[in-house]
Amino acid sequence: MALNQDIINYFDGKDIDIRTYSPLTLAYIGDDVFDLVIRTIVVNKGNTRPNNLHENAIKYVSAVAQARICDEISPILTEEEADILRRGRNAKPHSKAKNASTTQYMKATALEALIGYLYLQDEMDRIFELVKCGINKIEDDS
């Protein structure tokens, strides 16, 4: 699967060295990619009302849940992935956490940066592996 490359090719985009992207730029795209993966998982569990879909998805996409996922996947990251996670965690976001601590919000941003980086590298299988590991932990704790 190379969705990112397909989009770049279809819309005449440029190949850019993503290592030059700021962690907040990576988190910007990573937030949506993570949301799409989670929403796809939730929808594939069965047809239900939109508010039920939202309630099921929010268990995984909140800053608190993303911080837990970040903690869960940290031990299995490659050195490169751990570096992206660290850069994302150290980024200075321009917004505040609504229902999470500052630490949780920074970990959520780090996770989104990592997901964005992997997406831009066309590493969807690795995204799926990491997300599965993280959501399995959340489901086990529920």
16-65 confidence digits (pLDDT tens): 888 889 999 999 999 999 999 999 999 998 888 878 888 888 889 999 99
The model's pTM is 0.91
Per-residue pLDDT, averaged over 54-79, amounts to 93
DSSP string, 108-131: HHHHHHHHHHHHHTT-HHHHHHHH
Tell me how far apart the alpha carbons of residues 124 and 40 are, in angstroms, rounded to a whole number: 14
Indicate which residues carry an active-site annotation. 31
Tell me how far apart the alpha carbons of residues 113 and 55 are, in angstroms, rounded to a whole number: 24
Q: Show the tokens assigned to 33.
A: 């990619």
Report how far apart, in Å, the C-alpha atoms of 58 and of each of 81, 83, 86 are.
25, 27, 24
Nearest to 112 by CA among 35, 20, 6: 35
Q: Show the tokens assigned to 131.
A: 């997300």
pLDDT-derived band at 133, boundaries 50, 70, 90: very high
- Tell me, what's the pLDDT at 14? 80
Residues 1/91, Cβ–Cβ less than 8 Å: no
Instruction: Enumerate domains of the chain plus CATH numbers.
Output: 22-141 (1.10.1520.10)
Which pairs with CB-CB distance under 8 Å and at least 24 residues apart come from 38-46?
Answer: 38/131, 38/135, 41/135
- Tell me, what's the pLDDT at 142? 66
Model confidence pLDDT, tens digit, residues 81-112: 999 999 999 998 777 777 899 899 999 999 99
Residues 130/73, Cβ–Cβ less than 8 Å: yes
